[in-house]
Chain A
């Protein structure tokens, strides 16, 4: 556990284009980076990483763990602050399984319809990836 290493906190911010989702002190935050998950503790080396669809885990000083789903974006860690710029972000608790499954079905149907259009099917494939990641997140 993170607590055994240090109890220093680092300010963390999660921002989406529509609003600021989280802005608080955390002991550790685990971010699903493009090249693999990574945890950020206080005094982390400066890092810029892109993010794949997945769940960001916030380890709060109270011992509570907050989970927020992000559909991609960027993480910026400088010596004093960790910022995640998310494309789309929802609290995991607010994810609705049935609704996601339905939209997934819709995407798969439209994928069958638009097989010839490379650009469109690439976009739909991406959306399917996001929806599947959402499902996986809802299952945690």
Chain B
């Protein structure tokens, strides 16, 4: 049986842990609110962008001369996985579920005999993935959007991807990220970015409307040329925003659990402490009484 002092020390240390986790929960909650409204604010742009692109694509033919972002390189051999995780830990299964999905994808592709390259956004994903795929990680972006995620941050990532495709270093690009469903659930999602595949969105379907003949200014090719890289940045931006909001939500839930756990632990420890103290007092009393009786 540990001594009373040891009990007291443990209770104190669990109490301070609880203070920390509950503070982290508060911080995550306020950051979540900001990240969530930020993610929602950017949603209309992404939806309209992909609407516009789908309409544009409906008007043109895809052939060998189409830009690589649309038509692909003509091969399917090298796959690039853009894995978006957080920079910091202590957010429950958030990074774990992403890494699991990424690893699954990588393994499937390797089994099919394809080559896989990995681009990490966020430190936590790299830390885990490098154990298995150290040689396949081409680059890691760290500390993006530490204060507030801006479009410029997403542009950095998309620029890197664009540079790679111009050098023909991969054929197919897929982004793996946590889609923000609600505070309680983040859905690990894999979305193909290159060649462009229109994402299935309810709103996108709703207003395709009658197919109209478009006029283009300056020309179809030039607009497509400008719109495709732009769309890539937008899609990456959206994925990063979703991931940022999901990270805070996951952290909030994880810290809430930890705080509750610490509370339970304190209750149990206090009970055992009181019991030990009572036993000690009883023992002393018995000693005094039996001493008095002996006289």
Contact = CB atoms under 8 A, between A and B. Distances in A.
B206 interface: no
Interface stretch (A2-10, A43-51, A93-101, A107-115): A43-51
A15 B203 CA distance: 16
B294 interface: no
B45 A16 contact: yes
A85 B230 CA distance: 11
Contacts of A46: 212-215
A85 B52 contact: yes
A18 B41 contact: yes
Interface size class of A (residues with CB under 8 A): 20 to 34
B11 to A, nearest CB: 48
Interface in A33-62: 33-35, 38, 45-50
B8 to A, nearest CB: 53
Interface of A: 13, 15-20, 33-35, 38, 45-50, 74, 76, 78-81, 83, 85
B44 A50 contact: no
Contacts of A13: 44, 48
Nearest to A80: B209
A17 B234 contact: yes
B29 interface: no
A45 B213 CA distance: 9
A15 B44 contact: yes
B223 A50 contact: yes
B144 interface: no
Contacts of B41: 18-20
A87 to B, nearest CB: 8
B48 A83 contact: yes
A76 B52 contact: yes
Contacts of B170: none
Nearest to B241: A17
A47 B44 contact: no
12 contacts: A15-B45, A17-B42, A17-B151, A18-B41, A46-B215, A48-B214, A49-B223, A50-B222, A50-B226, A76-B48, A78-B55, A79-B212
Contact of A85 (B38, B45, B55): B45
Most buried by A among B38, B42, B222: B42
Residue of A33, A48, A74 ringed by the most chain B CB atoms within 10 A: A48
B162 interface: no
Contact of A33 (B38, B44, B45, B217): B217
A20 B222 CA distance: 26
Contacts of B52: 48, 74, 76, 83, 85
Given A35-B217, A85-B49, 12 more contacts: A13-B48, A15-B44, A15-B45, A18-B41, A19-B42, A20-B44, A45-B215, A46-B212, A48-B55, A49-B216, A50-B222, A83-B48
